[in-house]
Structure formats: C-alpha cells, structure tokens
C-alpha cells in the first residue's frame, strides 16, 4: 500500500537543518510531492509531503526523523494523508491565483486582520505570505526623530475565485482609507511578472508640483489660472478649453521663467529609485503629460526616460506667446500614445504599467495591464485598478514583486554599469 505523509518541522533555524532531514528521506528513497519552507525571526517552519513507495514501510523513516529532531532540539510532526484527499488536492491545480499586496509605512495587525477577513469572506485560500520589504526598524523612543522613508510590504498569495470581485475591491478600498494602507489585488499571471513598459504622468506624479501653476505664479496670474482649473474640475470646461485658457494667461512671460521653475522642480519621493531599478531590469519608460515638453525633456535627461510626449509651449523672441504647438495631450491622447509606444516596443498592453493622479489619466490607466492611481483624487483612486497613497513611487516595485534586497542589488549593478561606460 502506498503511504502519503506530511512531515512538519519547526524550531530554531541553523545551517544544515533541511539537509539533515532530507538526507534521511533520501536513505529511504522517498518521493517528494510538495515542499515549503519559511524562516521568521530565526525560527524555521518546514513542510514536506512525501510518498512512501509500495512495499516500503514508513515506521523506520519516522523513527529516524524523530531521533534527528531530538538531537537538533526541534519539533517534528507527522500527518497521514489519504489518497482521496491527495487526489482532490492534485485536481485543484490550475485554479486562478491572485496576489494581494499590502503597502504602508508600517504593517499593523488591524490592517492584516481586516484584509484576511475579506479574503475569508470570498472563500479564497491563502497559500503563502511573504515580506518584500527589508527588516523593519523599531520606532525610536523619546524625542528621537522617526525615519521618514520607512517602507513595509507583505505579499499574500491566494487561490480560488472571489465570490464578488467588485465587492472585494470595494472592501479593500474601504480598509485602505480607514487603516492608512494601500492594498493591491492582482491576478497572478505571467504578464504580472513580465511587464516591460512604464508610462508616467508628470505633474504631481513624477514631480511634486504642477508646472503650469508655477509658471502662472511667475507671470502673476496664479489666481486666474486656479479659477479656470476649478471650473474645469466642476465640469464647466473640458480639458482642452481649460488648458488653452490657462496657457493664454501666460502670454508675455519671459522664457527665463522656465529656467527658474525648472530649478525649483522636486522629484516625487522614490522616483529616482524606481526609475533606476526599472532601467536595471530592462524596462522602457515614458512621460505622457498634459504639461509641457520643455520640462519633460529636462526630466528625460535627468532620469534617463526613453520617451516624452507633452505639450509644446510656443516661445517667440524669448517670450511665451500664450499658445501651444500641435495637438494637445489630453486624456484620450495619452491613451493613444500609450498604445503607440507599446506597439513600437513590440509588447502587449498587458505588459504596460501606467501611473497618474488626475481624471485625464484615467483613459491610459484603464487600458494598461497595471493602472496605478498615485496619491490621486478620490474619484481617480476609486476608478483605477490599483492605488498607492502611503508610499513613494518606488512602492510600484512591490506590485511587480521586486523585493528591497533585489532593488539594492539592481541599483548597485546599474551604478557599476554607468561607471564602466564613463571609464570607457
């Protein structure tokens, strides 16, 4: 008779533990049907599902494993698995899997409890939980300042099909708002692990400011531009009309003002880390902006962006004319450009990540394989597939499964490559 046994090992971790147990299994010529191991705070949890071949006995193997566990001062348990249950388990392979990613400055028990309750309500089974971020530093006591760039991320792999995917997403969004955590829910497909292009909105996404507001302040028309922006947000003007009206107010602005605004540009938290890591991974990047090419080209040179599409601000005799040249880059145009770049790169839309914060970003967010609302307005956050509000742009790396230690390795490799090019 064929025996199937689940062996569960737990205790203090040390080098050679797994080797000691698998060496015994090898002596009895067992087949490994499944295996998983995790180490949490130097404590090992190891599971091995084995098949004892027909004609062999399990008792001698169990005796040797118990003796080894006693010698190593760890625990071992044995659970027989009947053939019917094992067959059901095998038949379950091929079921859809999803990845739930929690991102925050710190992960709390309340956040995890709420998320796993939603998972349970949707009859999904948790297969694994992994930490993608580095080891979390404790907050300092007393008056010592806390770290401002702390990142925490865990990834939960679940199996099955949600009872109601839309209701599940709504529940996650509610938890995110209540618990100060970002929650991504993605199908664990081959495309998730093989994105090739990331496109960014520029203003209030890749950079912290809205360039047109900065230029308006330089021209002394900040209040007028703000009033037009408010009318557009209320639906009284479409993007093209409001954009033309705002640009018209810049007429006569000295071109030197563009240089002054450029010097004040601050990259969004995590932008350099994200772009550097993406480049090291071989991703292409693009800026698709309703702002101006003058600033997009500056960021292209500074960050190594591959493509820039934005509005060309007309300048004659050193002065802004109050007009733009060519087609305005609005929301629909952003989606068209995303499709064109993907076709140029020879990739599918599923392999594209789009990142933006405003309503005019929704068309490109909706067609990208991974659309991310970054520190976005509530309507955009509710509409987009995923949202990040608690971390910087480098939080996007967690959504494609890149761990902190991977990022450090990739950034180091990228720096070495640039130094070699400079030396040559």
Among 114, 182, 203, 357, the active-site one is: 203
Q: Which helix (H) or strand (E) holds 338?
A: helix 331-345
Which of 162, 177, 178, 176 minimizes the C-alpha distance to 120? 162
Strand partners, 252: none
Residue 182 to residue 115: CA distance in whole angstroms: 11
Q: Give the integer Cα–Cα distance in Å for 18 and 35.
A: 11
Element (H, E) at 68: helix 59-72
Quick one: tokens of 99? Answer: 């990845």
Q: Give the 3-state secondary structure of residue 154.
A: strand
Tell me phi and psi for residue 90, to 5 degrees: -65, -40
> Would you say 118 and 165 are in contact if contact means Cβ atoms under 8 Å apart?
no
Handedness of CA 395, 399, 404, 409 (dihedral sign): negative
Q: Look up 203 and say whether it is catalytic.
A: yes
Would you call 254 a catalytic residue per the annotation?
A: no
User: Which is catalytic among the residues 3, 13, 114, 201?
Assistant: 201
In terms of residues, how long is the chain? 424
> Could you write out the DSSP letters of every residue in 349-390?
GGGEEEEE-SGGGHHHHHHSSEEEEES--HHHHHHSSEEE-S
Which sign, positive or negative, has the C-alpha torsion 10, 16, 20, 23? positive
Alpha-carbon gap, residue 225 to 230, rounded angstroms: 9
**97 three-state secondary structure:** strand
Q: Indicate which residues carry an active-site annotation.
A: 201, 203
């Amino acid at each position: 008779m064929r025996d199937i046994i689940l062996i569960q090992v737990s205790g203090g971790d040390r080098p050679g533990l797994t080797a000691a147990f698998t060496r015994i299994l090898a002596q009895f010529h067992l087949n490994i049907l499944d295996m998983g191991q995790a180490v949490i705070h130097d404590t090992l949890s190891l599971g091995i599902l084995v098949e004892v071949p027909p004609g062999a006995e399990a008792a001698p193997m169990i005796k040797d494993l118990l003796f080894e566990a006693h010698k190593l001062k760890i625990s071992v348990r044995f659970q027989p698995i009947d053939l019917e249950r094992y067959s059901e388990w095998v038949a379950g392979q091929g079921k859809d899997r999803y990845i739930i990613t929690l991102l925050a400055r710190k992960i709390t028990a309340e956040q995890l409890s709420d998320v796993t309750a939603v998972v349970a309500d949707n009859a999904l089974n948790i297969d694994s939980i992994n930490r993608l971020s580095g080891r979390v530093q404790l907050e300092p006591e007393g008056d010592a300042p806390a770290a401002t760039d702390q990142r925490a991320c865990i990834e939960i792999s679940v199996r099955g099909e949600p009872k109601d995917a839309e209701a599940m997403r709504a529940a996650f969004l509610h938890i995110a708002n209540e618990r100060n955590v970002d929650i991504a829910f993605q199908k664990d497909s081959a495309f998730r692990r093989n994105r090739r292009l990331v496109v960014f909105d520029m203003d209030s996404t890749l950079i912290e400011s809205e360039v047109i507001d900065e230029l308006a302040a330089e021209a002394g028309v900040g209040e007028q531009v703000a009033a037009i922006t408010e009318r557009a947000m209320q639906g009284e003007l479409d993007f093209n009309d409001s954009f033309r009206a705002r640009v018209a107010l810049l007429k006569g602005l000295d071109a030197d003002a563009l240089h002054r605004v450029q010097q004040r540009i601050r990259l969004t938290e995590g932008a350099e880390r994200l772009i550097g890591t993406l480049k090291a991974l071989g991703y292409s990047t693009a800026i698709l902006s309703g702002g101006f090419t003058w600033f997009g080209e500056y960021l292209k040179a500074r960050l190594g962006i591959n493509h820039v599409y934005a509005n060309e601000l007309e300048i004659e005799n050193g002065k802004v004319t109050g007009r733009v040249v060519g087609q305005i880059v609005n929301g629909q145009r952003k989606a068209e450009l995303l499709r064109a770049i993907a076709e140029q790169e020879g990739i599918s839309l599923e392999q594209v990540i789009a990142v933006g914060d405003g309503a005019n970003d929704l068309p490109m967010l909706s067609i990208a394989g991974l659309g991310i609302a970054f520190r976005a307005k509530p309507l955009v956050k509710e509409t987009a597939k995923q949202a990040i509000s608690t971390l910087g742009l480098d939080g996007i790396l967690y959504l494609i499964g890149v761990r902190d230690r991977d990022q450090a390795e990739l950034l180091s490799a990228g720096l070495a490559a640039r130094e070699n090019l400079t030396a040559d």
